[in-house]
Structure 1
């Protein structure tokens, strides 16, 4: 999903959404904050939440600067909204895909159970935002006029490419919803979708003579491996391998058993260190 969203970024879609939100909110700060939060949550439910924040944040910073507002409120709101939206679907967060693959859960299984919960949490979150910052956010009239004068059409970098990306994105999400009928795992559908996106993205970059044709360099590999480590560490602990894992993490390996680590857990580590001293 990170590959897909990084390719969609090149269309200017996120800038269009930000300008649309600003104009729909009539450049009123709290209304704009809520619309950006809802946009972030919606995108995060369909795509990857980490990359969604990385792409929405610069746009929000630009608008907050134009309105001379504190950007921290926008950034924190979008981070929390992305986590709330990402909870709702199978593809909204990398751990969701890992959990679904292991537990053999479908896209609709996640959406039916967690979708209403995420919507309820989002409503509570918006109410909390109003209580905390809603009454204090004000903007000068001339700044509102400047933001309302922005054109969303000018933000689109390549309109035909945007249309192709939106069609493909729709097909991928339909595939997620119907994966049990077509007998394909969500991860397989995501990989097929990413492959199609890379094909059209590669063709576009090549036609423009871009120096970098690969999209894999844009993937947040550190985040993926972090989630992988978290999930499998939890699995080891759940299977009763906590003591073995703890012994290996401090460098004892199998020798930790002879020091009492295997049977004594953290206390065994302390005793082993004490005896070594």
Structure 2
């Protein structure tokens, strides 16, 4: 390995160690790592800026502003109260309902947008029931990454794979969605075992929730109606963004701008709803991971997977599935997928049957996001919201639950791929 490769790995390792230790804020750790790489010349400023996925940051900022405006209508409180009353205040039924809703929305929107919508509802409801929101939030993070695996638009790696391989929205429904349904069913059983008996609510709290009026929770009825209409429109736009030739960031920022216009909202107030610590973390992380891509570290990992299997399609499929999952637990999955796409394309031109490999990467990269708190954008976003609201989701606390569930999910995906291919 070259000196730049060794240094890029060392900086990444130190940044991750600081994130895990939680001695300093993760955004500061990531940004300092980026500054070190710039200062010692491992990556120049232009290359570092080129590593930043501004589309992802645009989606985050736009949807955070959108949610900040919608929140003023009371929509989240209305949905939370309505859900709690339909479940008769039973916390396990509420968790199961929110897990299913999160997975479904993550497939139809994207998992980050879904988390931004579901998270505030969950926190509000748990406060009303006087129970810890952390188990609910962890379950929703896991569900968002699993649900996002099911469709072309649910997770960024799927968008990249679909574009490179010429796969359609319905191809993902055919090949990814069935195993996602199976994984979600298993996870619900696991969540019941992990949390079902621990979730208890006092009689007085249940009575208090059942006495709440969801209609009284609506603070601004005109804005409430506009919010519902805009959520429907944004959902449709995300589903059709390929046909519309619009990036997700354009839709998200456009939605935020329209909501501000139709509501007469305050821009400064909407900007206060942006989790700037989360944005800073992603800025630094993109540069740190981009340095490993720029120096060839990620390419070496991808080529190593190919050489280890000797070109055998089944072995390569399994190696890519597990390799993608394990690496996506600690790396951003976008650079890894971007590196593997040209390798698979070259193999296809050499006559190798690469069709199963696309699905191995899709399932591995998306499901692997549950392996740690920094494995996927949705994880970081919701943990940032939770920490701000007084329900800290720590790196270790999430990983203790997320990593075993990731291994279980990928094991199910392994059996599924072996059966269909």
Give the TM-score band, short-chain normalised: 0.5 to 0.7
1:76-102 alpha-carbon deviations (Å, 9 max, x no partner): 211111112222223322333333333
Pair 214,163 (structure 1): closer, same or farther in 2 beyond 3 Å: same
1:233-255 alpha-carbon deviations (Å, 9 max, x no partner): 45446767xxxxxxxxxxxxxxx
TM-score normalized by structure 1? 0.67
Matches within 5 A, 1:125-204: 125-174=187-236, 183-185=243-245, 188=246, 190-191=248-249, 193-194=251-252, 196-204=254-262
Asked if the contact 1:15–1:152 (Cα under 8 Å) also holds between the matched residues in 2, the reply is: yes
Asked if the contact 1:7–1:198 (Cα under 8 Å) also holds between the matched residues in 2, the reply is: yes
2: distance between equivalents of 1:156 and 1:115? 36
2: distance between equivalents of 1:210 and 1:146? 35
- Give 1:146 shift: 0.8
Q: Does 1:110 align with 2:172?
A: yes
Q: Which consecutive residues of structure 2, in runs of 5 or more, have no partner in the other structure?
A: 1-58, 291-331, 344-421
Q: Does 1:122 align with 2:184?
A: yes
Match of 2:268 among 211, 219, 243: 211
1:113-132 alpha-carbon deviations (Å, 9 max, x no partner): 32332222111111122223
TM-score normalized by structure 2? 0.47
1:124-143 alpha-carbon deviations (Å, 9 max, x no partner): 11112222332343322111
2: distance between equivalents of 1:137 and 1:236? 43
Q: Which consecutive residues of structure 1, in runs of 5 or more, have no partner in the other structure?
A: 241-277
- Give 1:17 shift: 2.5
1: distance between equivalents of 2:199 and 2:154? 30
- Give 1:232 shift: 2.7
- Give 1:145 shift: 0.7
Instruction: Report SS of the residue matched to 1:135.
Output: coil
Which residue number corresponds to residue 88 of structure 2? 26
Asked if the contact 1:94–1:224 (Cα under 8 Å) also holds between the matched residues in 2, the reply is: no
2: distance between equivalents of 1:216 and 1:235? 31
2: distance between equivalents of 1:200 and 1:194? 10
Instruction: Report SS of the residue matched to 1:153.
Output: coil
Which residue number corresponds to residue 47 of structure 1? 109
Which residue number corresponds to residue 119 of structure 2? 57
Which residue number corresponds to residue 7 of structure 1? 66
CA RMSD of aligned residues (A): 3.5
Asked if the contact 2:64–2:273 (Cα under 8 Å) also holds between the matched residues in 1, the reply is: no
Instruction: Return the structure number with greater relative CO, CA threshold 8 A, min gap 6.
Output: 2
